Every structure is written in C-alpha cells, then in structure tokens.
A = this chain, B = another copy of it.
C-alpha cells in the first residue's frame, strides 16, 4: 500500500494541523505514483523544458488519476508573487463602481492576475482594515478608492514593494499615483449650463463634505456662480449623507425656502435618483443637472455630467501594472474629462 495518497499520521512525533485540504494529493504523491522525482512533476506542471515525452506522459497520467491540482498557496510563498491585486472601493453594489471594478478585472486578467475586492462602506477604518488585510495576503498591487484622508498607514507597504494606485479620489498625506475625474470642471460646466439657460437661483445638493469629490464639485458650483456674478444663498447648498430621506428633505427645502431655487445641481448618482423622484411629484418644473450618468436617464430626459467609470478603472489598473512591470517614475496624477449630456432636464427654463 505504498502509494496511498498520504500515510496515516505517524504514531509519534510532531503532527501538522488537523483538517488540511481534505487530504489533497501533492506533487510528492504524483511523483510517487509516476515513479519519478518531485522536481520532474513540477517541471511538467509548469511546462518547463527538459522532460522526455514519455516521462511527461506518465506524470500527466498520474496527475489525472489522482486529481492533482497545484497548490498556489505554496507556489506564492516560494515565488514571492501572488498574481493577484486588491481593489478597495466604497460599495460594489453602487452602479458606478460595478463597471469600474469590471474594468480593473479585465486588465488584471490580461496580466494573468486575479482580483480581490472589498467594500469600505465609506468608513476610513474599514478601508484601512481591508487594505492592510490585502497587503498581508501580499497582493502584488493595490487600487484604492479612498474613504479616509490619511493613508500614511500604507507607507511601509508601498516601501515594501506593493504598488498602489488611488482612483476617484486623491489619497491623504501620501504621494502616489492617482486617477480622477475632473469633478471641479464637470460641476462648473454643469452649473454654467444651467446659468446659460437663464437660471439665477441654483441649488447644490451633494455628498458628505469629507469626500473629496463632493468638495470639488461644490467648488465647481461656486466658481461657476461667481463667474456669472451670482450670489449664493447658504440655504441653497446642502452636503450630507446620500440616503434617500436626507436628500428628499434637502430637495424639498431648497424648493420651498423664501428664495426657492429654479434649478438643482445634484452632486452624484445617488442624489440625482432621489432628486428626480422628488421633482416628479412637484407641480412646478424645476431644472436638474446631475453628476454621473444613470441607466435609463436618456428615457427620463435627465441632463448629466457623465464620467466614465470603466475608463477610470482601466486607467488605474494599467498604471498599476506598469508599476509592477518596473516603471519607477514619479507618481502621476491623471484627471479624466467629463462630458455634459443634455437630455432635457437641464434645459428647462426658470419657472419664475
């Protein structure tokens, strides 16, 4: 019975941990079965040269009959590369991040790497926990959509060779590659568009002020207003959670104050969706431009500032793999252009 996959635990002496991988065959078992050396099996499995066709056949047969599959955990330990990258994003369920994630995956796949991803749920602690867990797994590279504002915790990791690229928002207190959309320019153009259609009282409803894109878009709004010589009433600006209830309240408020607005700029896709719902229940026609494109927005006639999530992800991933291939230049900042897509809601004239 010398060729059973694994002898039963020897009576005495140190023993490994209990379950193992259900006693999977190893290269050693394959070698024993095929009557060759361990290294020869390794050579066959990896397609390395220097194996007689006949030997190779015997090894292949042993592999088949035992159902052997190489243990990549061990391989990783030995080689020092995991052929996997990590992606920390905010919420995989958000329709904005799905395409981004998919684009990253495609690039990874083209480089033979797998993708491990996790959602930070906009919580800096959770972002850090996730990113460090990925580093402990020794992912080759890391793509992060920051939730927090201090990424010094990644310094030792980056120094230790884990390539890191930030997307959608810049990192805090650390110098690294970044790929962004032009939030400022996009918001500015969108608000200018409303102004060009005659609006003077325009609201800005956006995400929480600790999120970089929210602040940048607000800045675009302010500058566009200033460019047109328009004063901003504080009651027109609302930053906060994008939970439907909060947005609903904010929209209702800017429509009913002493100086009701005639147009709304929505800071991201979540806000836009709720704003559209609220506006649908209004008698008055209120103009709307939203940041981020949304599925079916064409049918609803929603004017948007579109950013290309897939390109964002692809660009970041390509940057990452360029680093992994040895690129050693200074960290770069890329800002992708946004596109204004007029569909009706942004071209509604002021109602007063």
- What is A's interface to B at a CB cutoff of 8 Å? 16-17, 19-24, 67, 69-74, 76-82, 84, 91-95, 97-99, 101-103, 105, 109, 114-119, 132-138, 156-157, 159-161, 273, 276-277, 280, 294-300, 310
Contacts and interface: CB of A to CB of B under 8 A. Distances in A.
A296 B294 contact: yes
A22 B136 contact: no
Given A69-B136, A135-B69, A138-B73, A91 B102 contact: yes
A297 B294 CA distance: 12
Contacts of A276: 296, 299
Given A74-B77, A95-B95, A156 B69 contact: yes
Given A93-B98, A115-B116, A17 B79 contact: yes
16 contacts: A16-B78, A17-B79, A19-B161, A21-B160, A22-B160, A24-B160, A72-B137, A73-B82, A92-B102, A93-B99, A98-B98, A105-B118, A273-B295, A276-B296, A276-B299, A277-B299
A160 B67 contact: yes
Contacts of A78: 16-17
Contact of A277 (B105, B115, B117, B298): B298
A102 to B, nearest CB: 4
Contacts of A118: 105, 109, 114-115
